[in-house]
Chains A and B, each alone.
Chain A
Amino acid sequence: MTKFTAEDVQYFANFARIAFSNEEAEEFSELISELVEFADQLKEVDTDQVEPMTHPLQLFNVLREDIPQDVLDRDEMLSSVKEHEDGMIKVPNIL
């Protein structure tokens, strides 16, 4: 893929849950095309026998003792919530 089109922008924006106007989609298609082209360089590298590096540190089975600790205060947490009722977060009707 060389050119990232405005349709591509809308297609991936749907997964990313970001609204784009048609004008913005055109503008972002240019920006993303540059990145796609930039990443094309990676194709030159021979990685046939190479394992992907998924973590910078090899730590396994990181566990801690299951000791109850202070929990966050519900009222404090709700203070950042735009709409809430009876201690619950409110969203528009979804059905």
Chain B
Amino acid sequence: MTLMKKTAAELQALLHNREVSVKEVTEDSFKQIAALDGQVKAFLTLTEEEALARAEELDNGPKEDRGPLFGLPIGIKDNIVTKGTATTCASKMLENFVPVYNATAVEKVNEAGMISVGKLNMDEFAMGSTTERSAFQTTHNPWNLDCVPGGSSGGSAAAVAAGEVPFSLGTDTGGSVRQPAAFCGVVGMKPTYGRVSRSGLVAFASSLDQIGPITRTVEDNALLLNAISGLDHRDSSSSPQQVPDFRAALTGDIKGLRIAVPKEYLGEGIEEDVKDKVRASLKVLESLGATIGEVSLPHSKYASPTYYTIATAEASSNLARFDGIRYGYRSEGAKNLDEIYTRSRAEGFGTEVKKRILYGTYALSADHHEELYVKAMKVRTLIAQDFASVFDNYDVIVGPTSATTAYEIGGAMKDQVTLYANDILTVSVNLAGIPAISIPCGFSNGLPVGLQIIGKHFDEATLYRVAHAFEQATDFHKRTPSIGEGNE
């Protein structure tokens, strides 16, 4: 039986009683990766030598300052910079890029004593929701290898679901932690904007991006968010808000909790089976003492065009830094400076990235800026106000994380607007800057269904309390995909 499907608390007990060493835990992660990743394809880079050296160092270090995550393996999404280890954003543009510093979130997981085992696949520059847009490989869903793991943090979710690592970091600009967590049957948190430093996260849309933890259980997720949260002077948009102990929120008690269910979240376009699982989950929460009321988020239908206009505008500006001069891909055939820019960017970026840069450039152009970018920022205000008025009377909002379960690889890419409409459940959360978590709440045709719980600004504690109470009352989180069971 692998150690990678154990919780942090279970692993800590084994380490404390010297039944296993940090090195053995780390070796077990690489053993799992060696056995499974040929099929799952979650990792782009492995750092086995460094990880094992660090594990030995930790085994020989003092025993006193060991925290709850000490000695535990973690995978890092490949748009979070890691000093000395390639960080590609799954793009040809950054294929050979080796950062010279660590992201703040990476420093913090290191300080917690965690061991980074490698970098995880994603859609190129986090633009996509299937991980098929990686320039290097397509990640497969551990529950059904013919299906996508979701995206853009598909590698991060698939690696945890397959039991290759117990922890990973993803990033969420429009649902990129929550939707793959839902598709892979694991727990994924998009924290409040400003909760986790963005320093060292390669920027896609700066007013929407957040780093978030992906884990097997709610408690492990709370522990990892504890470790990575907090004010950071390297990110001027990180918040000075006090960080509570999220684990302390896991009381199991949700009596009197007021849950809002937006009618737009159980409406047209949501698969019947997904709706059924969400309704059944609401019954569970009700049986635990919560009250449920139907509400409306009237501007939900505009969330997707608002999101695409703002996110692409910001991306067109952020991705201007990839010019082929200082680092990253440079076209061989360029004859002058201008051609270095235009040809390096033409050859280095994939179709989706170019499309978004182009549309974002259009949305910011002098003639269209008012009608598109400024207009979208105004609708964004209305979307945020919709949430604020619901939270006047309710503690959390509950609905599905995704309209469907995981779809087949190559099966859902044709109609881009349909793909975008699927984002409706997740992007409004990023626009409002509020936190949301996805937890497993059932299965449909053998594929996991995700329940999304959305909260007030900086109230991740309540999300963890509700998610934990639900998890303890159900056993969806105990089911794991059959992949790799022969190895155990």
Contacts and interface: CB of A to CB of B under 8 A. Distances in A.
Interface string B356-370: 011101110100100
Contacts of B336: 92-94
Interface stretch (B58-66, B269-277, B319-327, B477-485): B319-327
B134 interface: no
A71 to B, nearest CB: 10
Q: Which of A4, A35, A54 has the most CB of B within 10 A?
A: A35
Given A28-B358, A89-B326, A50 B97 contact: no
B306 A42 contact: yes
A20 B361 CA distance: 15
A1 B363 CA distance: 12
Given A28-B355, A56-B207, A94-B337, A17 B98 contact: no
B194 A54 contact: no
B236 A18 contact: no
Contact of B337 (A42, A76, A80, A92): A92
Nearest to A56: B433
Contacts of A1: 368
A35 B372 CA distance: 11
A9 B416 contact: no
Nearest to B374: A52
A19 B346 contact: yes
A2 interface: no
A49 B364 CA distance: 22
A47 B385 CA distance: 13
A87 to B, nearest CB: 13
Interface string A34-68: 11101101111101001111111101001010000
A16 B361 contact: yes
A57 B239 contact: yes
A91 B339 CA distance: 11
Interface residues of A, number: 50
B359 A80 contact: no
B380 interface: yes
Contact of B345 (A17, A55, A62, A79): A17
Nearest to A55: B207
Nearest to A70: B101
B358 A73 contact: no
B258 interface: no
Contacts of B239: 57, 59
B325 A91 contact: yes
Given A52-B380, A59-B237, A64-B233, A41 B342 contact: no
B341 interface: yes
Contact of B361 (A15, A43, A59): A15
B305 A47 contact: no
Nearest to A52: B377
B417 interface: yes
B379 A42 contact: yes
Contacts of A73: 100
B382 A45 contact: yes
Interface of A: 1, 4, 8-9, 12-13, 15-20, 28, 31-32, 34-36, 38-39, 41-45, 47, 50-57, 59, 62, 64, 72-73, 76-77, 79-82, 89, 91-94
6 closest cross-chain pairs (CB), A and B: A56-B433, A52-B377, A47-B378, A80-B327, A19-B342, A19-B346
25 contacts: A9-B358, A16-B361, A17-B323, A18-B345, A19-B343, A19-B346, A35-B355, A35-B416, A38-B304, A38-B417, A39-B308, A39-B363, A41-B305, A42-B302, A42-B306, A42-B309, A42-B376, A50-B382, A54-B207, A72-B100, A72-B101, A80-B327, A81-B326, A92-B340, A94-B336
